[in-house]
Amino acid sequence: MNQTSDFNADMLDGLSPFYNDSHILWRDQLRHFLEREIIPHIEEWETAGELPRSLHKTAAEFGLLGMGYPEEYGGTSEGVDPFHKLLTSMEMGRMGAGGVGASLMTHGIGLPPILAIGSDEMKQRIAPPVLAGDKIIALGITEPSGGSDVAAIKTRAVRDGDDYVVNGSKMYITSGMRADYLTCALRTGDGGSGGLSLLLIEMDSPGVTRTKLEKMGWHASDTAAIYFDDVRVPVGNLIGGENQGFAGVMQNFNGERLGMAASCVGAAKACLEDAVNWAQQRETFGKRLADHQVIRHKISEMVRKIKATQAFLELCAWRINEGETPAADLALLKVQATRTSEFCAREACQILGGASFMRGNRVERIYREVRVNAIGGGSEEIMLDLAARQMGI
């Protein structure tokens, strides 16, 4: 089944107060880039289990990696707002290959803490090669024992002269096998959130080992378990202050959740496009699938959920652009978006029937990937409880 279809979900959007010509131009240019450089190779990379490093350089030269990052480090920031980033995530999600987007764009979660609270020296040393596609940076938060409970991190960094000595492990690390740098949350103080720090670990350091993990979905993304055995990290690689890393982690999560929600909207639209295209072409019992009321209702429900989710997404982006930090709504948005994506993937599978069970089409890939979106970046359960606490309930 083709990756693109005659029906385009963009036709349903109508006029929006949030997008101008710059946004639409970026979306169209990015879509052409993805169709030319990435989509034809998705199955090849899914089989290989990782992306070629050369793709990072290609994406950087196009301007994808630097979109929204400071000009002084090789990015593009003039005239860029959260809606350019939303469209980027939606277009990446529309490919129906979450592993490609997650692994190619890992700098989106690994680099922001450095730019937000890192030293000037670190910013100048790390950001330019990452945004140029020469180096890969990942984020190390999750551990085997803690999952989404950041305050329970056990991997420890102990000060020893001009170094920290790191021991412990990280689990489910996206781009973990290929990363040159790891922005890592570690325990430098007592238990709880107050004893956490962020360190930049260079992954070729003695004592760092990694094991590749096989997954249900995101096959094109290399995911790793990473182990630290007396790894020495210079004190200059501390990101922000010692024992002040928890706030940096939480701030980073808000941006990650917005991006994940946008990619889920893109994936849901992909499911809608392929389902409509199939229903308009496929005939059963002497008429098109689209002429069966039950199929039309499925499609209408998909559209309803997508429209509601996209409206919520765009409102959150607008509030962020106005200087707000709507943590409760971002948590609820992530739940709304992942459930919408899961619903649309399920309904698209029902409409496509046996074709949806075959490898090589984006609906099949999206269906395998719904769980990672509902779990990663904070599980549904954590998000709902966080929202309630933020609302003072």
Cα atoms found within 13 Å of the Cα of residue 151, Cβ hemisphere only: 5
- How far is 210 from 218, CA to CA, in rounded Å? 18
Q: What CA–CA distances, in Å, run from 63 to 71, 108, 127?
A: 12, 14, 15
Q: Which helix (H) or strand (E) holds 235?
A: none
Residues 6+ apart with CB under 8 A from 109: 138, 139, 183, 252, 255, 256
Which pair of structure tokens corresponds to residue 176?
A: 């973990």
Question: What is the number of H-type helices and E-type strands within the chain?
Answer: 13, 10
Residues 6+ apart with CB under 8 A from 178: 50, 51, 53, 103, 136, 222
Classify 158 as helix, strand or coil.
Answer: strand
- How far is 233 from 210, CA to CA, in rounded Å? 17
Q: Is the dihedral of CA 304, 306, 309, 314 positive or negative?
A: negative
Residues 6+ apart with CB under 8 A from 58: 37, 133
CB 305 within 8 A of CB 358: no
- How far is 10 from 272, CA to CA, in rounded Å? 11
Q: Active-site positions?
A: 256
User: What letter represents residue 363's amino acid?
Assistant: V
Cα atoms found within 13 Å of the Cα of residue 6, Cβ hemisphere only: 6
Which pair of structure tokens corresponds to residue 249?
A: 């982690």
Residue 212 phi/psi, 5° resolution? -75, 140
- How far is 223 from 159, CA to CA, in rounded Å? 29
- How far is 151 from 253, CA to CA, in rounded Å? 14
